[in-house]
Amino acid sequence: MRWMKVSAACVLVFTAAVLAVQPPADDRYAAAVWHCQSIANNRTPDDASTGRSARDLRLDYGNTITLTAAGTGAFGGRSLDFGNDGTRFAKAASSWPGQAGDEFRLDGWFYFYSTGLPSVTGAATMYVFYISDSGASGVIVEMFVHTNDHLRFGIYDSGGTKRVASLALRDPAAGIDLTDKWVHVIASSSNTPGQQGARLRIADGQNEYENFAAGTNGDMRMASRTIYVGHMDGKTGNSPRRGFRGRMDELKLSIRADEPDYAYGPNPAYGQVLPAKSDQILSWRKGVGTITHTVRMGTHSTIANNPIVGDGVTEDRVTVQTLAGKTYYWQVNTHNASGTSEGDVWRFSTESGRAYGPSPSHNATDVTYPVDTLTLRWTGAEGVESFKVYFGTTETPEYLGATLSTSMVTPALSPYTRYYWRVDSITPNGTVTGDLWTFRTRVLAFPGADGFGRWARGGRGGSVYHVTHLNDSGPGSFRDAVSQPNRYVVFDVGGVIQIQGRVIMSRNLTIAGQTAPGDGVVIYGNGASYSGANDSITRFMRYRMGRGGDSGVDGVAVANGTNMIWDHCSASWGRDETFSISSSGPGVNEGNFTIQDSLIALGLHSHSCGSLIEWNNTSILRSVYIDNHTRNPKVKGVNEFINNVIYNWRVAGYILGDTSGDSSANIIQNYFVNGPSTSSSAFSRANANFRLYAANNYQDSNRDGVLNGGLIPISAYGPVTWV
């Protein structure tokens, strides 16, 4: 198993859709449980998405679950507060129906109290969700927080085998803390061939994490069982209590028993409020055996009184015209070989003048500083006469000004600052208050920084340390310079610094090798460790390990940490890998690393490896691998490998995973040049667990001294999974 962070910086789309970080409008239920089924023409009887009543949650314990005040829910509305004593839970008003399902999905917003985690309370577990009626032997589904503060989602199949997906809620070493804030959690299980297993996804508005546990032993175990929210079978006698400690909002549960022959899955969802614009796209999921559709839509609540807006429609969508401030009803009737399957009646509304489509987008975290000012942009609804703009660093932004246009320039911005803004629309009927939008400014590590590690802070804001001599230790030495955090290291001398022991880098360092006079600086000896050197920036440094280094040790190594970038550096003569970003858990860590415009070369002895990349979110850009027998690089995790040159490998060039774990990569515009030692293809050891996007990679294999390689064919990558 693994978990991974999904980053927007990568071309590759790692999941089918990124989890929503901005919840829908707060006119929906605080909590609901429902299922979808197709039995005896009585379809979706409890499906809230069609407007029918959601199945209520009934409290089944003396301690009340309170409904919070408006403004404290995931969407600014209300939410369910389970408190922090572990005694409160809810139970569905009726049992889960006895049926075999091929898809299960739990979707909700959760606020995990940091003081309620098992590592703090001492409880063996903290249960979030549970379906069973006979203890552990009858478990169907369970979600709980384990003693290591990992959220676990477990599914039992009909063979009695449990498959469990797991994600960390809090892991200080990895910089993860998903407590004391609203996070979106989706737990799902599928029996679709090739996709069987349990999947857990969490998004906090900035990052998304995912873990998948495969399973192949048949359908999910199902029977008529009781659904508990916030506890296990309602058992509250444990001490400390194992009930949920936190808040929940918009809790939704569904199971799909089979594919219907009618249209379903409306978008917009039932009851959704859309921005007030004239063109709207209505879409749906096609039923089995669909030939064409007939679509009605209008403002009359009796669907037959509304006009047909699409007939003979073969696609799964139509574009319609709408007006601001209206409620529309629509229906999709499906024509198939058996006749016509009448669809459910759905409805949506349009806002009456509210601004939408903000730029920067809501919750943007990549607004790059320095910028003297920023132009805020939005889309106005029809009929709006003017706008009032509010802007500031609090959730009650100050009035900035009025405008007839849909843009306004901000005052000067500051780095690492969260800003809030709102656009109110002035209409003939009054003022329509806009949504509160927010973005955060960030600073590139340096101009030209790229890839996942581009936001490393380095020693910015810390003290300047001058390296004044070439000795291995003592005040003014390179070793002393990097031994403490929050430093900007500059060089008053150039030359070779010969080290005996390994150099251990501290966190929040900027190592400015370009400041050294003459030909710069070389660190020669037992190598350098960046393990735990979070937010480090290293530029224009040369690391040479050599035969005097410890056997089996990397020249430059990272075993843990996050946010690091190396620029215009070189590493050579490593005795294991020459430059590695590896860990004990391949592909399960989120790192945010960049190696750019650098050289990794001349690994020593028979091992002679370039790089082992096992952390997620690692970028290798515009760099050169030369004269390494193998691992140029070997990747397990999430990697982007763009505009690099690989020369004279022997055993293997780029190794595509070579593991049973999942890996993902973008491999784009690289050049592989065979040298005198090359005896293998550019790519090797791939399997179906390696998800790949590749384009415009070339190999020059004729050794004629002229760069005249050809495009690497798809077949040469091996049995990867293409995306």
The model's confidence at residue 11, banded by pLDDT at 50, 70 and 90, is: very low
Contact between 456 and 564 under an 8 Å Cβ cutoff? The reply is: yes
The model's confidence at residue 95, banded by pLDDT at 50, 70 and 90, is: low
- Residues 162-169: what's their mean pLDDT? 89
Query: CA-to-CA distance for 601 and 61, rounded, in angstroms?
Result: 66
Query: CA-to-CA distance for 519 and 536, rounded, in angstroms?
Result: 23
- Same domain, yes or no, for 435 and 473? no
- Same domain, yes or no, for 566 and 629? yes
Lowest mean per-residue pLDDT among 83-92, 298-307, 582-591, 595-604: 582-591
Domain count, the chain: 4
- Same domain, yes or no, for 553 and 632? yes
What is the CATH classification number for the domain harbouring 507?
2.160.20.10
- Same domain, yes or no, for 405 and 320? no
pLDDT value for 190: 76
The model's confidence at residue 7, banded by pLDDT at 50, 70 and 90, is: very low
Give the closest residue to 622 by CA, choosing from 602, 600, 598: 598
Q: Which residues on neighbouring strands pair with residue 581, listed in sequence order? A: 558, 613
Beta strand pairing status for 671-673 and 645-647? parallel
- Same domain, yes or no, for 129 and 184? yes
Highest mean pLDDT among 5-14, 173-182, 336-345, 464-473: 464-473
- Domain end, chosen from 350, 378, 400, is at 350
pLDDT value for 589: 56
- Same domain, yes or no, for 346 and 363? no
Cβ neighbors of 708 (< 8 A, separation 6 or more) are 700, 702
User: Is residue 301 included in any domain, yes or no?
Assistant: yes
User: Is residue 371 included in any domain, yes or no?
Assistant: yes
Q: What angle do CA 67, 68, 74 make, to 5 degrees?
A: 110
What is the CATH classification number for the domain harbouring 382?
2.60.40.10
Query: CA-to-CA distance for 11 and 666, rounded, in angstroms?
Result: 7
User: Is residue 457 included in any domain, yes or no?
Assistant: no
- Residues 580-608: what's their mean pLDDT? 79
Query: CA-to-CA distance for 416 and 427, rounded, in angstroms?
Result: 36
Give the closest residue to 529 by CA, choosing from 547, 553, 510, 511: 553
- Same domain, yes or no, for 366 and 343? no
- Same domain, yes or no, for 244 and 283? no
Q: Over 80: is that where the pLDDT of 404 sits?
A: yes
- Domain end, chosen from 224, 256, 288, is at 256
Q: What's the token pair of residue 608?
A: 């002679």
Contact between 710 and 682 under an 8 Å Cβ cutoff? The reply is: no
User: Is residue 204 included in any domain, yes or no?
Assistant: yes
Contact between 376 and 410 under an 8 Å Cβ cutoff? The reply is: yes
Query: CA-to-CA distance for 113 and 110, rounded, in angstroms?
Result: 10
- Same domain, yes or no, for 567 and 586? yes
- Same domain, yes or no, for 579 and 655? yes
pLDDT value for 338: 84
Q: What's the token pair of residue 294?
A: 């007939």
pLDDT by residue (tens digit) across 310-353? 999 999 999 999 887 789 999 999 999 888 988 888 999 887 78
Task: Identify which has the larger pLDDT, 389 or 26.
Answer: 389
pLDDT value for 215: 74
Give the closest residue to 231 by CA, choosing from 77, 137, 123: 123
pLDDT value for 20: 38
Contact between 357 and 340 under an 8 Å Cβ cutoff? The reply is: no
pLDDT value for 158: 62
User: Is residue 456 included in any domain, yes or no?
Assistant: no
pLDDT value for 2: 31
- Same domain, yes or no, for 543 and 641? yes
Beta strand pairing status for 536-539 and 564-567? parallel
Query: CA-to-CA distance for 366 and 92, rounded, in angstroms?
Result: 42
Contact between 311 and 294 under an 8 Å Cβ cutoff? The reply is: yes
What single letter denotes the amino acid at residue 437? W
In terms of residue numbers, what domain contains 322?
264-350
Task: Identify which has the larger pLDDT, 224 or 481.
Answer: 481
pLDDT by residue (tens digit) across 239-255? 677 889 999 887 777 66
The model's confidence at residue 124, banded by pLDDT at 50, 70 and 90, is: confident
Rounded alpha-carbon distances, angstroms, from residue 69 to 245, 253, 506: 18, 24, 45
pLDDT value for 256: 56
Contact between 38 and 260 under an 8 Å Cβ cutoff? The reply is: yes
The model's confidence at residue 708, banded by pLDDT at 50, 70 and 90, is: very high
Query: CA-to-CA distance for 212 and 563, rounded, in angstroms?
Result: 25
User: Is residue 453 included in any domain, yes or no?
Assistant: no
**Catalytic residue selected from 575, 631, 685, 703:** 631
Q: Over 70: is that where the pLDDT of 133 sits?
A: no
DSSP string, 528-578: EE-TT--SEEEES-EEE--TTSPTT--SEEESS-S-EEEES-EEE--SSBS
pLDDT value for 16: 27
pLDDT value for 55: 41
Q: Over 80: is that where the pLDDT of 476 sits?
A: yes
Query: CA-to-CA distance for 722 and 714, rounded, in angstroms?
Result: 10
- Residues 223-247: what's their mean pLDDT? 73
- Residues 417-433: what's their mean pLDDT? 91
Q: Over 80: is that where the pLDDT of 137 sits?
A: no
Is 631 a catalytic site residue? yes
Lowest mean per-residue pLDDT among 65-69, 180-184, 379-383, 493-497: 65-69
pLDDT by residue (tens digit) across 26-59? 333 345 554 433 322 333 333 333 333 334 455 5
Q: Rounded mean pLDDT of the chain?
A: 82
User: Is residue 548 included in any domain, yes or no?
Assistant: yes
- Same domain, yes or no, for 344 and 199? no
The model's confidence at residue 23, banded by pLDDT at 50, 70 and 90, is: very low
The model's confidence at residue 174, banded by pLDDT at 50, 70 and 90, is: confident
- Residues 268-276: what's their mean pLDDT? 82
Q: What angle do CA 670, 672, 677 make, to 5 degrees?
A: 160
Q: Which residues on neighbouring strands pair with residue 693, listed in sequence order? A: 666
- Residues 408-432: what's their mean pLDDT? 91
Query: CA-to-CA distance for 248 and 126, rounded, in angstroms?
Result: 14
- Domain end, chosen from 443, 477, 508, is at 443
Torsions phi, psi of 303, nearest 5?
-60, -30
pLDDT by residue (tens digit) across 525-565? 999 999 999 999 999 999 999 877 667 688 999 998 999 99
pLDDT value for 236: 55
What is the CATH classification number for the domain harbouring 83?
2.60.120.200
User: Is residue 25 included in any domain, yes or no?
Assistant: no
